[in-house]
């Protein structure tokens, strides 16, 4: 119900904020509650909740409320989006270097 498709845009925007990255870092230690996440950060609980909203909409984090405590966990699919984007850039960059040799060897090749 609350799971959004992790778009490159949303994921990178979410990770652009240091507090949000800190949350993801903490969550990679394991699932934990909102107040537990808030402890090391010196911002209010309310602020953390807002960050969690962004993180959840980006698909980086998944949360579930049982009783009065909301438990947050990392959602690997979100990080996968980042890895793929970076990987795509890198592979284009490497492909270019490969073809560089071709161009120098055969300057007049029709594709």
Partner DNA sequence: AAATTACTTAAGTATCCACTTGACAATCTC
Partner DNA sequence: GAGATTGTCAAGTGGATACTTAAGTAATTT
Q: Does 7 bind DNA (CB under 7 A)?
A: no
Using CB under 7 A, which of the segments 50-58, 81-89, 90-98, 101-109 binds DNA? 50-58
Measuring CA to CA, which residue among 101, 52, 95 is closest to residue 72?
52
Using CB under 8 A, which of the segments 26-34, 35-43, 46-54, 64-72 binds a copy of itself? 26-34
Q: Could you give the C-alpha distances from 48 to 39, 61, 86, 89, in angstroms and in order?
A: 10, 13, 28, 32
Q: Which of residues 34-73 bind a copy of itself (CB under 8 A)?
A: none
Shortest distance, position 80 Cβ to DNA, whole Å: 22
Determine how many CB atoms are found less than 10 A away from the CB of residue 86.
Answer: 10
């Amino acid at each position: 119900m609350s799971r959004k498709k992790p778009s490159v845009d949303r994921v990178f925007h979410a990770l652009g904020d240091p507090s949000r990255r800190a949350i993801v870092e903490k969550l990679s230690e394991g699932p934990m509650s909102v107040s537990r996440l808030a402890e090391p950060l010196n911002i209010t609980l309310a602020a953390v909740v807002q960050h969690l909203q962004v993180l959840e909409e980006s698909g980086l984090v998944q949360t579930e409320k049982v009783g009065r405590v909301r438990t947050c966990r990392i959602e690997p699919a979100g990080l996968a989006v980042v890895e793929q984007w970076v990987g795509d850039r890198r592979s284009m960059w490497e492909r270019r270097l490969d073809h560089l040799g071709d161009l120098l060897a055969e300057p007049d090749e029709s594709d």
